[in-house]
Structure 1
Amino acid sequence: MPSVSLLFRYLQVIPLLLAYGPVNSAEPSVLTLRAATEKVVRDNPDLAQMRARANAMAAVPSQQGSLPDPIIRFNAANLPVDSFDTRQIDMTQIGFGISQAIPFPGKLALRKEAATYTATAAGHTVDETRLRLLSDVKTLWWLVFYLDRALEIVENNHNLLQQFVDIARTKYEVGEGLQQDVLLAQLELSKLLDRKINLTGTRKNSAAKLNALLDQPANAEMLLPTTADMQLPALKQENQLYQLAENARPLLAGERQGIHAAESRLDLAKKDILPDFNVEAAYGARGNMPNGTARSDLLSLGVSMNVPIFAGSKQNKAVDQRTSELMQEKYALQDQWNQVRAQISQSINDYQRAKDQFVLFDTGIIPQARQTVASMLAGYQVNKVDFLNLVRSQITLFEFETQYWKAFTEARQALAQTALAVGEDDIYE
């Protein structure tokens, strides 16, 4: 019974299919922009080390606000070296003591305050790093997307020019065309191959950079979607984005915390001219003399303080140092604020320019260029258009289609730069 034998063999194959799964299961998954941004926030080592640094800085304020550790002391005083007998001499005693350094009131609070501001600034640095990485990932992702589209255009144009070569060769073979037309078409094909080589190399380099940001091997295969949302939204007004950045940009918030920390250090430097104290207590135990004479134990109490007699060359200079550092932080904030506004304005201008170019290519230039190519091709087939003009029209269309995707990509990259400059994604009307 052949049917029973076939069924038996089929049943034997089923467990193997279930065990090994689909043959193409190792193919890379499509990396969407959202997946890339989520992965960089989760896996990027630079961001992870900045978080670790912020966690380390968060543990500093408690240390700076605590008193120095007390010192415990044990000693044997006035011990005779000939016998080492603790009862031979009246002043011999076995003692122990404790001392505690106490900074002048207010110094510990200022040290803790400065460390707290510094730790908060480190937290803002983490947020700034996250924004920068998101912008870098978006910029590279859109670059790879553009290169994929450019390679598709090259491939399509290669196929069209190959058809032109076939048409030119056919007309030449029947005596209706010129050999130079065939050579010209082959030359343009070679140029396209050169363009493809350059685009492929750029694509590999860009993918390697993106893989590095995503904590993946640089040579890991990367597959992006073939379509994207082609809508380019309107941005908020420039002054509105300025206002958003003033409150939302972590870079500026971190600089403000740096100013607060510098102010606390300046106040601390001014207080350093006031003395710190050291409080100590010691207890000396004495046993009775060999002749039975009783000796009482001894208690010692003391307070000491430092005397800032070199204030002119030490504490006062420290005040000058901290004053200059405070001015440095204020100038740094002003410079960063100027840079942020420049970034916002530049990214807005880049976006508007790229958006206008994209609309122009989409609604005007490319449709007209396609009509021109179609008309040229029809005219060439009936010997009303020379081959050179036909090839030129197709190459022009190729350039326009590439510029169309480049303008769209640059607009998307400008949006990423704008979000980075502002410090948040709420940049649209």
Structure 2
Amino acid sequence: MSLSVVMGGLALVVSAQAQPAEVMDLRSAVHEALQHNPEVAQAQVATEAERAGAAGAQAWPMPSLSYQAWQQPLARPFDPTATNMHMVGIRQTLPFPGQLAQAGKAAEAAVAAREADSVAARLRLEAQVAHALTGSWLMEQELEAHGRHLQLGEQTLAAVRARYAAGQARQADLLRAETELHRQHASIEGLRENLEGTRALLNALLGRPVEAPLPPAAAPEAELPSGSAERPEVIAAKLRAAGAQESAALAAQARRFPEIMVGFDYMLMPGMPDAFAVMLQVPLPWLSERRAAEAAQALRLQEAAHLAQTSAENVARYEAAEARARAAAAAAQLRVTEEKIIPGSERTLEATRAAYSTGQMELVALLEAESALLDAQLSRLRQRAALGDAIADLRRALGLSLFPEGQP
């Protein structure tokens, strides 16, 4: 009970770890995030907006109605009977051959790219949730490790006090043991504050209020993902390159072929027979500097889109290799720490404590042995967390989702 008084809120964390309380695992956290995170919702809405806009890409230009009043006398500006001719007409622009089909292909590529962006946002969120959950787990476990180390420190302080009372220890030893205990208190307080920040991040990713309570985090993943899929960022880049190619071809054709406008007018002339007129308007795009500039711009955008595709492919390959290497490194370090370093640190501490109790070892050696064991235990936790982070990054780099069937 004295430990809980000394460490304040740490006792709550330790007790939560000791009891079989409900924990938040990665799948349940990702499930909740995908349901409530606004970034995923925004990506889906953006896809729907792109799809709605693409529906009109192959539509004909809108027709227009016109009305003209010819030779209206200034003396009778609002008298329709004084007008020599009322003319009502309709105008329609005719796209050049293949224009609408190519515009439709470019729009469809843009929609598909947005859909890939939405998948990328989901995978990115899954990795972010995994990192936040792993960070929360790591700090909870570090608090528990520091709590155990604090108990060792209290035992050491009690032993030093007993030896000091018996005249077998110096006052400097007593002060050193007390200082080491205070240092542990400071470390614990810092971890507690950092844990609150990590939990706030996790709550934000889950779409919860940042101060909402969270159950303890489950241990991070330890198994490498199997299989692979094409990265959605690469898919999106390929689709945008294809769309840019269609847009460039469309701009090149728009420079050569005009969009012809046809019209029909019906003329009402007081005192004379009604009549009609037809019109044909042909622009001259090959004389337009604007059309030439648009074609040149489209070519450069096409080149930029292909370069972006190459860059996305390079990034995808690098991120997969880097995450796999980090996972292998963390797994190797974790294995050595668990099999060699921690058992050796435990044996060293046991032997040092026995030697100190018989006066054969100085206090500084005992404190160093305790610190070495704590460092080894913290190293194991951090390597375990590093392995989980690397697996989360590798799964995203391989284009794999925890919910490959789509919506959880």
The match for 1:34 is 27
| Partner amino acid, structure 2, of 1:283 | Y
After superposition, the C-alpha distances for 1:141-176 in whole angstroms (9 at most, x for unaligned) are 101100100011111111111011111101211223
SS of residue in 1 equivalent to 2:140? helix
- Counterparts of residues 136-147 of structure 1 (less than 5 Å): 136-147=128-139
Q: Name the aligned partner's letter for residue 214 of structure 2.
A: M
Aligned to 1:407: 383
2:14 corresponds to: none
> Which residue, 351, 374, 392 being the options, matches 2:368?
392
Alignment of 1:34-73 (within 5 A): 34-73=27-66
Which among 236, 243, 260 is matched to residue 254 of structure 1?
236
Of structures 1 and 2, the larger Rg is shown by: 1
The verdict on how the C-alpha distance between 1:88 and 1:179 changes in structure 2, with shifts beyond 3 A counting, is closer
Q: How many residues align?
A: 380
When residues 45 and 296 of structure 1 are mapped into structure 2, their CA distance, relative to the original with a 3 A threshold, is: same
**What is aligned with 1:352?**
328
The answer as to whether partners of 2:133 and 2:202 remain within 8 angstroms in 1 is yes
Distance 1:285 1:190, change over 3 A: same
Distance 1:74 1:130 in 2: 54
Q: How far does residue 80 in structure 1 lie from its aligned partner after superposition?
A: 5.4
Report the counterpart of residue 129 of structure 1 in structure 2: 121
Identity %: 22
In structure 2, C-alpha distance between the alignment counterparts of 1:59 and 1:67, rounded to whole Å: 16
Structure 2 counterpart of 1:277, one-letter code:
I
Amino acid aligned to 1:264: E
| 5+ long unaligned stretches in structure 1 | 1-27, 290-294
For the residues of structure 2 that align with 1:396 and 1:86, how far apart are their CA atoms? Answer: 102
| Map of 1:282 onto structure 2 | 265
Q: Distance in 1 between matches of 2:380 and 2:189?
A: 21
Match of 1:292 in 2: none
Q: Residues 201, 344 of structure 1: CA spacing in aligned structure 2 closer, same or farther, 3 A cutoff? A: same
CA displacement at 1:257 relative to structure 2? 0.7
Matched, 1:232 2:222: yes
Q: Matches of residues 75-94 of structure 1 in structure 2 within 5 Å?
A: 75-79=68-72, 92-94=84-86
The residue number in structure 2 matching 1:16 is none
C-alpha root-mean-square deviation of aligned residues, in Å? 2.3
Q: Secondary structure at the match of 2:125?
A: helix
SS in 2 for 1:73: strand
TM-score (norm 2): 0.87
| Shift in Å, 1:82 | 6.1
Gaps of 5+ in 2: 1-20, 403-408
The one-letter amino acid of 2:223's match is P
Residues 273-295 of structure 1 deviation map (CA, whole Å, 9 limit, x = unaligned): 211111111222346x4xxxxx4
Q: One-letter code of the match for 2:280?
A: V
Aligned partners of 2:138 and 2:382 also within 8 Å: yes
Question: Contact 1:61 / 1:113 at 8 angstroms: preserved in 2?
Answer: no
Residue equivalent to 1:197? 189
DSSP-derived class of the 1:206 partner: helix
Q: Does the C-alpha gap of structure 1 residues 87 and 248 become closer, same or farther in structure 2, counting only changes over 3 Å?
A: closer
Partner of 1:340: 316
* Cα displacement string for residues 215-267 of structure 1 (whole angstroms, at most 9, x for unaligned residues): 22222233314x537x733566xxxx7xx3xx521000000011011011111
User: Per-residue CA shift, 1:365-408, capped at 9, x if unaligned?
Assistant: 11121122122222222223332212211111011001100000
CA distance in structure 2 between the partners assigned to 1:259 and 1:361 by the alignment: 48
Give distance in 1, aligned partners of 2:325 and 2:48: 38
Larger CA deviation: 327-336 vs 404-413: 327-336
1:308–1:179 CA distance, 2 compared to 1 (3 A): same
